[in-house]
Structure 1
C-alpha cells in the first residue's frame, strides 16, 4: 500500500492506474469503514482511501483535538482490506492557505436535522469532500463509497455530485452493527462500559418509532415526542428522533407510506453524541 501525504505524491501514485474507487475517512477505523473499502475495491481499477480529520466540520466546542487518531492500526486494517493507495494529508498539505472558498449545500437539505444542531457542519463536509475529490479524481471519473449510517451526509454529497456534474458515482454502503444492534461508530470508543450497554437503546427507539409510524392514524409529532421522552427518561439528551421521507428528508405529507421513509435519531449519552437511522 502506497501512502501519500502530499497532493502531488497522490496524483503521481494514481497516474495511469485507471478509475479510482475511493473511501474517505477520518481514521480511527472500525469494521464499518473496512466494509466500505471492501465494497469499493471491485468498483474501480485502483482502491484509494483517505485519513484526514477535517477541522472545518467541527464546531468550536466539539472534539477535534481529542478525536481518536489510531494511525498504525488504521494502516494495517486498510492494507489487509486491499487498499492500494492511502492519502493521509497533514492539515497544511490539504489547506496550505486558509480555505476561504467553501461549498455551501442547499439549506433545505443541509440546515435541518444534523445541520440544525451542528450549524456549518455540512459546509465543512462538502468543502473537504469536494477537495478530496479534486485530489483523487484529477485524472477523470471514478466511484466513491459512503456509509448509510451518516444518512443526511450521504444525501448532501449525492446532491453535490449531481449539481456540479462530477464524473463520480456515489455508492452507498450499508450500516454495520454490533451483535446487539448498535451502529458501529468511531465515537463508540468514548462510551464507558455502562454507556456502551445502554447505547443500543437509540437503535431500538428508532425501530419502535418506525413500527408505530405506519400504524393506522399515526400521529407522527406525538410519536416522535414520545420516543424522545422515553430516551430522556433513560438519561439521554436527545436532539431529534424523527420520521422523514427518504427522498428529501422532509416530514411525510398525509399518511406515512412504508417503503419511502427513514427514521433518524441523534442523542447524547453522557458526553458522547450518537446518531443512527433506519429505512422502512
Structure 2
C-alpha cells in the first residue's frame, strides 16, 4: 500500500479563496489527477478518507470546498454520525447554500480547480478525471461538458437532478462531452426518478458519449457515505470497483 500525504491547500478563485483537501502518493512523483466533488455535507473526514484511498491507488486527489463563499470547511456543524433525525435541521442550513452555488459560479470555480491541478508539481501532465457524490455528481457531469478538453473521465454516484426539464440541467451539456462517463444511481432515489435516468441515458447515447449507467439495488441516496445512515456497504464496494476500473482504463 502506497504511503500518502494529505494536506489542506488554498485555491485562488475569481470570488476569493477555496480551501481544499489534497491527497497524493508520498513518493515525490507527479500522478494523474482526480477532482473529487463533495456531497452537500461538505469536506470532512469521510471525504478526506476517500481521497486518501484514491491516493493509495496512485492518484493525486483534490477535494475542494465548493461552499467556500460561506466559510472554510466545515461550513456546517456536523454530528459525527448523520442520522435521519439530524437531517432536517442540517438541510435547513444546507439548502440555501446549495442554491447560492449557481451553475455559472460552479463552473467558474471548476476552471480554478482545474488550473490549480494543471500547475501543481504533484500532478502529471494531461487531462484529469472527476468523481462526484450527490450534488457533486451533477458538478462532475457539468464540468465534463464545460471543459471537455481537460476532463478524460467522470463518474457520479447517487447523483440528484442530473436530467431535469430545466434550461440549465447538466445533461444538456452532453453534446460537448468527450470524456468517458460512469454513473452509479441510487435505488428509488427521489432526487433522480426514473424519467430523469432515462433522459440522461438518452442524451448521452444521442450525443455519442462513451458511458455506462447503473442503478444499485437497495442502495439509497448517499450510499457511499459511511458517516451517515444512508450508507450501504455493498453499494459502496461496488462504487469503488467501478471508479477504480474507470480510472485504470483512463490512465
The TM-score range, normalised by the shorter chain, is 0.3 to 0.5
Larger Rg: 1
TM norm structure 2: 0.38
